[in-house]
Amino acid sequence: MVDVLVIGGGNSALCAAIMAREAGASVLLLESAPKEWRGGNSVHTRNLRCMHEGPQDVLLGTYSEDEYWQDLYKVTAGKTDEHLARLAIRESSTCRAWMMKHGVRFQAPLSGTLHLSRTNAFFMGGGKALVNAYYRSAEKLGVEIRYNSPVESLELKDGDFVAAHTQTGKIEAKTCVVASGGFESNLEWLREAWGQNERGEYPSDNFLIRGTQFNKGVLLKNLLDQGVDSIGEPTQAHMVAIDARAPLYDGGICTRIDCVSLGIVVNRDGERFYDEGEDFWPKRYAIWGRLVAKQPGQVAYSVIDSKALGRFMPPVFPGNKADTLEELAKQMNVPVETFLQTIRDYNQACQAGKFDHTTLDDCHTLGLQPAKTHWALRIDEGPFYAYMVKPGVTFTYLGLKTDQNASVFFDGKRSTNLFVSGEMMAGNILGQGYTAGIGMAIGTAFGRIAGTQAAHVALDQVTHSVEKSYS
From the options 3.40.50.10190, 3.30.360.10, 3.40.50.720, 3.50.50.60, give the CATH code of 2-182+397-458: 3.50.50.60
pLDDT for 290 equals 95
Answer for the pair 246, 255: CB distance below 8 angstroms, yes or no. Answer: yes
Peptide bond into 335 cis (omega under 30): no
Categorize the per-residue pLDDT at 253 as very low, low, confident or very high, splitting at 50, 70 and 90. confident
pLDDT for 471 equals 41
The yes-or-no verdict on residue 281 having pLDDT over 80 is no
Mean pLDDT of all residues in 254-280: 95
Domain ranges of the chain: 2-182+397-458, 238-392
- Please write the tens of the pLDDT for every residue from 115-165: 678 899 999 999 999 999 999 999 999 999 999 999 999 999 999 999 999
Mean pLDDT of all residues in 235-254: 94
DSSP per residue over 191-235, as a string? HHHH---TTS--GGGG-EE-S-TT---HHHHHHHHTTB-EES-TT
The yes-or-no verdict on residue 268 having pLDDT over 90 is yes
Query: What is the rounded CA–CA span in Å between residue 418 and residue 162?
Result: 9
Query: What is the rounded CA–CA span in Å between residue 193 and residue 190?
Result: 5
Mean pLDDT of all residues in 382-403: 97
pLDDT for 111 equals 57
Query: What is the rounded CA–CA span in Å between residue 215 and residue 219?
Result: 10
The yes-or-no verdict on residue 110 having pLDDT over 90 is no
Residues near 136 by beta carbon (within 8 Å), at least 6 away in sequence: 103
- Please write the tens of the pLDDT for every residue from 322-372: 999 999 999 999 999 999 999 999 999 999 899 998 899 999 999 999 999
Categorize the per-residue pLDDT at 235 as very low, low, confident or very high, splitting at 50, 70 and 90. very high
Mean pLDDT of all residues in 90-109: 94
Q: 6 - beta bridge partners?
A: 29, 177
pLDDT for 386 equals 98
pLDDT for 414 equals 97
Select the more confidently predicted residue: 404 or 111: 404
> Which among 439, 469, 421 has a CA at the least distance from the CA of 9?
421
Rg (CA), the chain: 23
pLDDT for 439 equals 97
- Please write the tens of the pLDDT for every residue from 443-464: 999 999 999 999 999 998 655 5
Q: What percent of the chain has pLDDT over 90?
A: 88
The yes-or-no verdict on residue 470 having pLDDT over 50 is no
> Which among 259, 217, 242 has a CA at the least distance from the CA of 400?
217
Residues near 468 by beta carbon (within 8 Å), at least 6 away in sequence: none
Q: How many CB atoms lie within 10 A of CB 53?
A: 10
pLDDT for 254 equals 87
pLDDT for 187 equals 97
The yes-or-no verdict on residue 279 having pLDDT over 50 is yes
pLDDT for 286 equals 86
pLDDT for 115 equals 64
Q: 206 - beta bridge partners?
A: none
Q: What is the mean pLDDT of the chain?
A: 94
- Please write the tens of the pLDDT for every residue from 204-216: 999 999 999 999 9
The yes-or-no verdict on residue 469 having pLDDT over 60 is no
Query: What is the rounded CA–CA span in Å between residue 265 and residue 304?
Result: 9
Query: What is the rounded CA–CA span in Å between residue 285 and residue 369?
Result: 20
Query: What is the rounded CA–CA span in Å between residue 357 and residue 304?
Result: 15
From the options 3.90.700.10, 3.40.50.2300, 3.40.50.1950, 3.40.50.720, give the CATH code of 238-392: 3.90.700.10
SS3 359: coil
pLDDT for 134 equals 98
Number of Cα atoms under 13 Å in the Cβ half of residue 389: 34
Mean pLDDT of all residues in 414-423: 98
CA–CA distances in Å: residue 341 to residues 296, 323, 369, 412: 19, 17, 13, 56
pLDDT for 467 equals 45
pLDDT for 113 equals 52
Residues near 101 by beta carbon (within 8 Å), at least 6 away in sequence: none
Helix axes 438-458, 82-92, angle to 10 degrees: 90
> Which among 300, 189, 307, 207 has a CA at the least distance from the CA of 248?
207
Pairing of strands 2-7, 27-30: parallel
Q: What percent of the chain has pLDDT over 70?
A: 96
Select the more confidently predicted residue: 187 or 118: 187
